[in-house]
Amino acid sequence: MQDHDERMESYLKEFKVRGIRPFEQEPQSSSVWLRRLAAAAVIVLAGGLSIWFSRRESTTVPQAASALQSPLNLEFRAKMMNPFLLTKLALEDSKTFDAALREASRRVLPRLRGPESTLRVLAAE
């Protein structure tokens, strides 16, 4: 064990201690500032455009809804509707929107009336 310690000591003595030199920073070039300036300009421009688009008044011409629409047409429409189309329909034609929601609720929600209703099944348990 002593031999091992002495060999380690002799090995470590081969190294010389040196002082730590100060960290040198490279000066930033002007291209870095130009990139930052361009990125800031893009952000400001995008923000300005988004505000302009959000405040711009859009005119929508409501279409006259036909009084007689087949349930098949409403069912097909309700299946194909996504939230954006439903929002547009609600803003333009509230009667058709209500009919589409009624049809969708009949199709999706459980029935609460009748002998096989959800409430009767739950009450039996």
Residue 94 domain flag: yes
pLDDT in tens, 74-99: 545 545 667 888 888 888 888 888 88
Lowest mean per-residue pLDDT among 17-26, 35-44, 50-59, 86-95: 50-59
Domain range enclosing 111: 71-124
Residue in the block written with tokens 């099944």: 121
The answer to whether the predicted template modeling score (pTM) of the entire model surpasses 0.85 is no
Residue 115 domain flag: yes
Q: Which residue has the higher pLDDT, 39 or 54?
A: 39
Mean pLDDT, range 48-71, rounded to an integer? 66
Residue 22 domain flag: no
Cα→Cα distances 119→43, 82, 105, 114, 123, Å: 55, 30, 17, 9, 6
Question: Structural domain tally of the chain?
Answer: 1
Q: CB–CB of 105/78 below 8 Å? A: no
Residue 107 domain flag: yes
